[in-house]
Amino acid sequence: MTTNTPTPEIEIRELDRRTSDGVDVRLLWNSQTDRVSVLVQDERSGESFEVEIDSADALAAFWHPYTYA
């Protein structure tokens, strides 16, 4: 008899989000890897980037993502 062990899903959780002048900034945490990232999306230009950061820098990167890009 075989047992089907469910494979863990990658769990990305949004910790915080803000939007200003068409730029959306999201602070994300991956529960599987325990890594934190900041995702920035410019709705006007369509450009976006995501940067993985040290958890100690999470709030600073959330408020100043271009410094960490």
Give the domain ranges of the chain: 12-68
Report whether CATH 3.30.1450 matches the domain 12-68.
Answer: no
Please give the pLDDT value at position 68: 94
Alpha helices in the chain (DSSP H): 58-63, 65-68
Q: What is the pTM of this model?
A: 0.81
34: Cα separation from own chain's centroid = 11
Output the tens digit of pLDDT for each of the chain's 69 residues.
556 666 566 799 999 999 999 999 999 999 999 999 999 999 999 999 999 999 999 999 999 999 999
